[in-house]
Amino acid sequence: MRKTLLATTSLAIGLALAAGSAMAGDISTQVDEAKKETQVVLDWLDGKLDNYGKNEVSYDGDPIIFRSTSHIPAVSGLAKLQIQGFDNLERMSNGKIKVETTWSQSVHGVREGRKAVRTGLSDQAPCFSLYTARDYNAVGGLGLPFLFNNAHEAVATAEHIYPKYLKDEFERFQVLLMRSAHTGPYHLYNNKPVRTLEDVKGMKVRAGGGVHAQIIGALDATQVSMPGASAYTAMQRGTIDAIHFNDAAALIFKLHEVAKYRTENGFNVLTIEYCMSKDWFDDLPADLQNVVNNWGRQMAIAEAAGFYDYGGLVNVAKMQEQGLETITMSDEELGKWKSAVADVEAAWVADAEKKGVPATEMMKDIRANAAKFKAMSANDVMLDAINNPVQGIYDMK
């Protein structure tokens, strides 16, 4: 497979962001410092590490094809990063797994990934639960406000609680979880300066659906659910007033061309999943099943820290160079936003408990894991995924 350099590394020009995040975690708000804090991830993506975990391959048959499909363009930074990750899957399997990629909605749209995997059109595809929120009872807990500081903290937490709380409801659709891939924290991109909670009331705000829509509604704004790719045109036409979006994807969708301001609030991440074919995985020999598990856990953290965390900082720096103004709220003002959305979690827990989800217990486990990973650097979280990959996500041979 063609070697592709991580797009964001070429953009690491050492620029400081004009303002720090309202939900600052262990990732620096300085691009050059953040690069150091994610260097293990960047080296993993570039194939420069000496250690990719315990991947003892004894299978000596013909290479097994792994078909990955996606709605995103092949030229996007995220696609290029994922291609780097697939290079590592081939490397870790000693070339016994060969990845074939198809991009740009050639096989399915953004909402049809799960169906494509289930029906055999693909072996891996993004299958965002946020677009089919009614199908899931437990996963929404990961998108509740003020749980995580960054993407890699969210992903590490999600993967560790998955076997206990999420596996059964995910697999009832006859697909497996390839990996979790939470976004970075969401901020408000808008054409008027939103400095207070009062400023956002009554605005029409793009949201992703599910819990995200409930959060926007709790702010007394009108949530408009649509794919991220539609937000630019909707903003341009005045169909919406603002877009609540993560920084890494904001540049991809050129939101700085239709929004003058970025109001930092960062109170939620969006849950994203990649489905894997159960038939494809079940047919693998045991040694390659182990490789796939090891790779999936590493790829999950690499995408989170490399694209959403570090890449998000780089992208904001670029957008600010082109005129985007960042507004940072005071702790007092941010507290008002926290109070406004506080009932969202209580309502979600009560509803999930009625549906048989041990939601109170799950939220305790989410917070315990979030605290654990918050205390670790991004590099250490990546090393943990390499040396201590989560077990129990798959039923192995």
So what's the pLDDT on residue 16? 29
- In a domain? residue 263: no
- In a domain? residue 334: no
So what's the pLDDT on residue 355? 96
* Percent helix, strand and coil across the chain, each to the nearest 5: 50, 15, 35
Q: Is the dihedral of CA 168, 174, 180, 185 positive or negative?
A: negative
- In a domain? residue 360: yes
Q: What is the pTM of this model?
A: 0.89
- In a domain? residue 36: yes
In angstroms, the CA 297 to CA 228 distance is 26
Distances in Å between the alpha carbon of 118 and those of 52, 177, 344?
30, 12, 33
- In a domain? residue 207: no
Distances in Å between the alpha carbon of 316 and those of 73, 187, 240, 320, 383?
21, 11, 22, 6, 27
Run means of pLDDT, 10 residues per run, the chain, 397 residues? 34 31 55 91 96 96 98 92 98 98 95 96 94 90 94 97 97 96 93 94 88 91 84 92 93 92 90 96 98 98 96 94 94 94 95 97 98 95 97 97
- In a domain? residue 6: no
Q: Among 227, 268, 235, which residue's Cα sits nearest to residue 254?
A: 235
- In a domain? residue 250: no
So what's the pLDDT on residue 379? 96
Given the structure tokens 């590592």, which residue do they identify?
A: 88
So what's the pLDDT on residue 30? 82
CATH code at 143? Answer: 3.40.190.170
Given the structure tokens 């041990």, which residue do they identify?
A: 358
Q: Is the dihedral of CA 40, 272, 267, 376 positive or negative?
A: negative
Q: Which domain holds residue 39?
A: 13-185+269-321+349-387
So what's the pLDDT on residue 4? 33
Determine contact, residues 68/36, Cβ cutoff 8 Å: no
- In a domain? residue 128: yes
Which residues does 372 contact at the CB level (< 8 Å), separation at least 6? none
Which DSSP string do the residues of 145-180 spell out, in sequence order? Answer: TTS-SSHHHHHHHHHHHIIIIIHHHHHTTSEEEEEE
Residue 387, number of CB atoms within 10 A of its CB: 10
So what's the pLDDT on residue 363? 98
Determine contact, residues 281/345, Cβ cutoff 8 Å: no
Count of domains observed in the chain? 1
Determine contact, residues 69/107, Cβ cutoff 8 Å: yes
In angstroms, the CA 150 to CA 363 distance is 17
